[in-house]
């Protein structure tokens, strides 16, 4: 059986991006709960790094994923920008990853939303990408 770790970004004292009174941490949690519901309906097992508005450190998020030996780690974030032209969906993966999981996620998101495709991007910087074992 497949096991996915869903990581709602930010939480607690860390609001993330703030736009028009909306905190990223709240939107990320609501989206994550919808994703969990959808995955469970598809008979996919899911764990979450947080289920409510609490601050979970980056090392703790990675430990939750790594100790559970998940098949995939998905950290959900939203961004805000002053520029009205900044919009769309992007998916990030570890710069040395050979997995096509991020490409599959990005393609499914674009297909189901018709949002602008900002592509799959590579990073060596994001803590959770460096310290989780799963794609």
- pLDDT classification of 19: cutoffs 50, 70, 90: confident
Q: Give tens-digit pLDDT for 28-55.
A: 999 999 999 999 999 999 999 999 999 9
Nearest residue to 120 (alpha-carbon basis) of 112, 128, 131, 108: 108
pLDDT score at 130:
96
What stretches of the chain adopt beta strand conformation (E)? 3-8, 18-19, 22-23, 45-48, 72-76, 89-94, 117-123
Q: Is the pTM of this model over 0.85?
A: yes
Q: Rounded to whole angstroms, what are the CA distances from 92 to 22, 67, 95, 126?
A: 23, 22, 9, 9
pLDDT score at 127:
97
Nearest residue to 10 (alpha-carbon basis) of 60, 48, 53: 53
């Amino acid at each position: 059986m497949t096991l996915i770790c869903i990581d709602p970004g930010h939480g607690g004292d860390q609001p993330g991006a703030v736009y028009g009174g909306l905190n990223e941490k709240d939107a990320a949690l609501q989206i994550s709960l919808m994703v969990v519901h959808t995955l469970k309906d598809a008979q996919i097992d899911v764990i979450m790094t947080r289920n409510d508005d609490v601050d979970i450190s980056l090392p703790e998020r990675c430990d939750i994923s790594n100790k559970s030996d998940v098949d995939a780690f998905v950290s959900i974030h939203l961004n805000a920008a002053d520029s009205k032209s900044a919009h769309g969906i992007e998916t990030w993966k570890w710069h040395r990853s050979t997995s096509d999981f991020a490409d599959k996620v990005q393609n499914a998101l674009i297909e189901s939303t018709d949002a602008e495709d900002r592509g799959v991007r590579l990073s060596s910087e994001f803590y959770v990408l460096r310290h989780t074992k799963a794609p």
